[in-house]
Amino acid sequence: MLARTADNLFWLARSMERADFIARTIEATLRLEYLPKTESDKVGEWEGALNAAGAYDSFVEKHGELDEEAAVEYLTFDLANPSSIRNCLENARAAGRAGRTALTAETWTAINDAWLQLKRFETSRGRNRSLDREELMRFLDYVKKASLDFDGSCYRTMLRNDAYWFNRLGIFVERADNTARLLDVKYHLLLPSTETVGGPLDYFQWVAILRAVSAATAYHWVYRDRVKPWLIADLLILKAAMPRSLISCYESIDRALDSLAREDGRSGLAQRQARAMYAKLERSSMTEIFQGGLHEFITEFIEDNARLSTTISEQYLFT
């Protein structure tokens, strides 16, 4: 496979996964708005959403003052935000078209249909007009469905060859980054109950974290207990059965890289780095993570995950 094709498949998958995560983050933040709170609490929730998307600094640089309407617009349709849903879907379509020969007809249709539907939403909203709440929720549902259609078409129709494994790599590297960033933004809510950082912990904020990663039902299946912050952290970091957990993502990354190594007969630094991160997660316990500092653990993980992405690009000559 040409290096540029592998690059396109990797970033196509990352873009679709990022669009899905941002849609889920917006939806979870909107759910919290139905709870009684002060105006400063509302601002703080949107600051958290922008931070989870890695877009807070650029938002402040452009808009200065933070408010809900501007935050939603920046995360959905704003061309100035590289991680807006609109830009993610545009980048995904461009990468899919460039790597079209490596995709099945069903996978390309899923990508192209997502883009066409996006254009319909842009047309219906008109220039300089925000979506009302009903339209916005319909838009977010469409983005989540587009991501599921893409993921399902890849899983059900692509040959298990290098094209498929580069696609899987992109999905799980991005998913690991997204889950870790969500945990990093909310870490003060996830500290054990003996901690006082963050003040009184709100049950509905914990549930919003679970909803953002479609894990509310899974949580009760696994723990059969009321929502507890340290158990949320355990589910999203160390439970291999949870598809969006850090350890599940790295189990999949390790498998994808090993499969690529078998394809070309060579194993390199990317395989060693992924294996080391997976082994570290397997050896970890929540007691050790909290003792060493949850924030520090997550920050190190995000840095290591970004380093692995760079190594993959260098090893497979993306850059």
Q: What is the pLDDT of residues 154-199, one digit of tens each?
A: 999 999 999 999 999 999 999 999 999 988 887 765 555 544 444 4
| Residue 4 CB neighbour total at 10 angstroms | 12
User: Which pLDDT score is estimated for 123?
Assistant: 84
Residues 70 and 211 in one domain: no
Judge whether residue 278 has pLDDT over 80.
yes
Of residues 126 and 207, which shows the higher confidence score? 207
Residues 92 and 102 in one domain: yes
What is the C-alpha separation between 129 and 285, in angstroms, rounded? Answer: 48
Residues 208 and 304 in one domain: yes
Residues 100 and 221 in one domain: no
By C-alpha distance, which of 7, 27, 25 is closest to 15? 7
Residues 117 and 188 in one domain: no
Residues 238 and 116 in one domain: no
What is the C-alpha separation between 70 and 124, in angstroms, rounded? Answer: 19
Which residue type is seen at 250?
Y
Tokens 């990354």 label which residue?
A: 253
Residues 231 and 89 in one domain: no
User: Which pLDDT score is estimated for 262?
Assistant: 92
pLDDT category at 229 given cuts 50, 70, 90 is confident
Tokens 């496979």 label which residue?
A: 1
Residues 165 and 144 in one domain: no
Contact 168, 256 (CB under 8 A): yes
Question: Is the four-CA dihedral 39, 40, 46, 50 of positive or negative sign?
Answer: positive
Which residue type is seen at 166?
F
Using alpha carbons, list the distances in angstroms from residue 288 to 8, 74, 276, 301. 39, 38, 18, 15
Domain boundary among 124, 158, 192: 158
* DSSP assignment letter at 315: H
What is the C-alpha separation between 315 and 319, in angstroms, rounded? Answer: 9
Domain count along the chain: 2
Q: Which domain, by its residues, includes 291?
A: 160-319
Residues 154 and 165 in one domain: no
125-144 pLDDT, tens digit each: 776 577 788 889 999 999 99
Residues 50 and 109 in one domain: yes
Domain boundary among 115, 133, 158: 158
User: Which pLDDT score is estimated for 198?
Assistant: 40
Tokens of 85: 């849903």
Domain boundary among 95, 127, 158: 158
Q: How many helices (H) and strands (E) does the chain have?
A: 15, 0
Across 12-21, 25-34, 118-127, which has the greatest mean pLDDT?
A: 12-21
User: Which pLDDT score is estimated for 203?
Assistant: 67
Residues 254 and 277 in one domain: yes
Residues 126 and 273 in one domain: no
